[in-house]
Amino acid sequence: MSFLQVEGLRVSIRGVPILRGVDLEVAEGGTLGIVGESGCGKSMTALALMGMLPPGAAVESGSIRLGGRDLSRASESEWRSLRGREIALVMQDPFTSLNPMMRVGDQIAEVYRLHQKAGPDEARRKAVEMLERVGIPDPEGSARKHPHRLSGGQRQRVVIAIAFAARPRLLIADEPTTALDVTLQAQILRLLREMQRETGTTVVLISHDIGVIGAMSEQVAVFYAGRVVESGSAERVLRRPMHPYTIGLLDSMPDHALNRLKVIPGRPPMPGEIGEGCAFAPRCGHRIDICGQDPPAHRLPDGVCACRLAAPSELNA
């Protein structure tokens, strides 16, 4: 049974569609990877799942269910009670998540005070223990430092420590390794996996890097122009993709053996530029006349594909 289920989620900003009927689901304790180019709606989905849409943005329709509870019309007070305790967010730039004026130990201790009602001494002790757990050197001394005195990789570990301190049921990691070098990326992803195994937390991992998604996720959702164009098991989507956009993403990964890089021609449409039909059709080498009509999301044994290539019988109808 799905722990997180998103159905037909539509979000607009001042009337301009940003998310155009997003469907997602992930089982409890599982990992869903969301992948796509910049501007495709990944981060807006993360903000919707946190109840943190920017000014001018609104949910027009659809539902967000967490453990069976519908959150799409939750009040701000309801969202506040969920954030941190039930749902946590790790963002790509820890400077946007950490308070530069507070010592990192105090920021972790605050989670224990707010969500576990720990006293000051207990909260500080648990904060140091959490810093040690996420691999921060000299956790006692590091707890007394401000964020600017830590390296980028250490700051991201602190953000992960804050996220897991309340043992949330759902963790949303939005590009958590983008600003790090390859070695640090691997360390942070390994840490996320270890913390997830310990806590049983459900994870939604968002990235433009399909390699990162493949390394971390059991399920994958490929976004394009505010819509999921293909979803399913990571094994199937990454080895036997069906949507031309997914195929293009995989083909654009560097091939070190041949030293060549393929690209998807054109650019993704901007919000407000999407007309009738398949949004990917202008960039697709397989487009035909019927692509001028909006493609249905064809059901597959393990997910969906919003392309008529997934249902060849339609092409001959």
| Phi/psi of residue 251, nearest 5 degrees | -70, -25
How large is the angle between the packed helices 104-115 and 120-133, nearest 10 degrees?
Answer: 120
Whole-angstrom CA distances from 232 to 41, 210, 315 are 18, 14, 23
List, in order of start, the domains of the chain with CATH numbers: 2-86+168-315 (3.40.50.300), 96-166 (no CATH)
Q: How would residue 316 be classed by pLDDT, with cut points 50, 70 and 90? A: very low
pLDDT digits (tens, 9 = 90+) for 261-311: 788 999 999 988 988 899 999 999 999 888 999 888 899 989 999 998 876
Q: How would residue 233 be classed by pLDDT, with cut points 50, 70 and 90? A: very high
Whose CA is closest to 270, among 52, 41, 66?
A: 41
How much of the chain exceeds pLDDT 90, in percent? 71
- Higher pLDDT: 177 or 140? It is 140
As a whole number of angstroms, the distance between CA 159 and CA 150 comes to 12
As a whole number of angstroms, the distance between CA 226 and CA 241 comes to 19
Q: Please say if the pLDDT value at position 255 is more than 80.
A: no
- Kindly write down the DSSP assignment for every residue of the chain, as one continuous string: -EEEEEEEEEEEETTEEEEEEEEEEEETT-EEEEE--TTSSHHHHHHHHHT-PPTTEEEEEEEEEETTEE-TT--HHHHHHHBTTTEEEE-S-GGGTS-TTS-HHHHHHHHHHHHS---HHHHHHHHHHHHHHTT-SSHHHHHTS-GGGS-HHHHHHHHHHHHHHT--SEEEEESTTTTS-HHHHHHHHHHHHHHHHHHT-EEEEEES-HHHHHHH-SEEEEEETTEEEEEEEHHHHHHS--SHHHHHHHHTS-BTTTTB----SS-PPPTT---SS-TTGGG-TT--GGGGSPPP-EEETTEEE-SGGG-HHHHT-
Judge contact between 296 and 310, C-beta under 8 A.
no
In this structure, the chain runs to a length of: 317
As a whole number of angstroms, the distance between CA 289 and CA 160 comes to 48
Q: What is the pLDDT of residue 257?
A: 53
Q: Please say if the pLDDT value at position 146 is more than 80.
A: yes
pLDDT digits (tens, 9 = 90+) for 25-65: 999 999 999 999 989 999 999 999 999 999 999 999 999 99
Q: What is the pLDDT of residue 317?
A: 46
Segment 127-146 shows an average pLDDT of: 96
Q: What is the pLDDT of residue 61?
A: 95
Judge contact between 153 and 176, C-beta under 8 A.
no
Segment 200-204 shows an average pLDDT of: 96
**Could you tell me the strand order of the sheet in which 57-66 lies?**
16-27, 2-13, 57-66, 69-70
Q: Please say if the pLDDT value at position 105 is more than 90.
A: yes
Q: What is the pLDDT of residue 259?
A: 62
Q: What is the pLDDT of residue 280?
A: 96
Structure tokens at 214: 């493949």
As a whole number of angstroms, the distance between CA 142 and CA 264 comes to 45
Tracing tokens 């053996």 back to the chain, one arrives at 257
Q: Please say if the pLDDT value at position 109 is more than 60.
A: yes
Q: Please say if the pLDDT value at position 258 is more than 70.
A: no
Whose CA is closest to 7, among 20, 19, 24?
A: 24
pLDDT digits (tens, 9 = 90+) for 165-176: 989 999 999 998
Q: pTM, whole model, 2 decimals?
A: 0.91
